[in-house]
Amino acid sequence: MMPTEARSDVRDLRIVPMRRRHLRGVIRIENVVYSQPWSPALYLSELRLPSSRAYFLARVGRSTAGYGGLMFVLDEAHVTTLAVDPRWQRKHIGTQLLVAMAREAIGRGSTGLTLEVRESNRPAHDLYRKFGFEVAGRRKGYYPDTNEDALVMWAYGIDDPSYATLLNGIEESLPRSRKGVRELPGETS
């Protein structure tokens, strides 16, 4: 029988709030894309803090294709993770997750988005630059597995109407102008 993934189409993408029941699919991707994967217990503890965290899942049909998370500190939103299953990469799923995350941050009153990224992770740098992130600092030896530096990136002024325009432009430029369907927290998935 054909695997579910092969029958799924990225046009069926939905961005939904991450739930405990999604963690099996999240951890499967986590273990593939990260050399220091988060444990299920760590994700569970994050999901127990909805007032200061927001985690999203990208689903294609019944498959988990990616996920991303935010931590809110004062008026800053920190991207804690963003990952797409390698089988689904380069299909703008990371882009659609980040659009949803940026809108969540704006909705919660954040004025800036920030993250750390490995210096060598050019694909991620390119993605973040499209969202207005710029390198603002460096953390020496931040990643203990390779002693690699982290670049600290910031997108400032996300509460400005021009940032909403940027997000709309990113969404409109997606192939076939497909906008990710986003369910609101509280809806089931």
Ligand X SMILES: CC(C)(COP(=O)(O)OP(=O)(O)OC[C@H]1O[C@@H](n2cnc3c(N)ncnc32)[C@H](O)[C@@H]1OP(=O)(O)O)[C@@H](O)C(=O)NCCC(=O)NCCS
Question: Which amino acids are annotated catalytic?
Answer: 116, 128
Q: Any contact of residue 117 with ligand X (CB under 6 A)? A: yes
DSSP 107: H
C-beta of 86: minimal distance to ligand X in Å? 7
Query: What is the widest separation between alpha-carbon atoms in the chain?
Result: 50
**Which of 15, 84, 101, 170 is close enough to bind ligand X by CB under 6 A?**
84
Q: Which residue, 37 or 40, is less far from ligand X as judged by CB?
A: 37
CB contact at 8 A, 189 and 14: yes
Other residues' Cβ atoms within 10 Å of the Cβ of residue 27 = 16
Decide the pairing of beta strands 76-84 and 53-60. unpaired
The piece of 8-16, 36-44, 102-110, 120-128 that touches ligand X (CB under 6 A) is 120-128
C-beta of 62: minimal distance to ligand X in Å? 19
Of residues 147, 136, 58, 40, the one with CA closest to residue 98: 58
Site string for ligand X, 33-72 (x = CB under 6 A): x---------------------------------------
Q: Which residue, 109 or 137, is less far from ligand X as judged by CB?
A: 137
d(CA 10, CA 93): 8
Of residues 88, 112, 68, 76, the one with CA closest to residue 9: 88
Binding site for ligand X (CB under 6 A): 33, 82-84, 89-95, 115, 117, 121, 123-124, 126-127
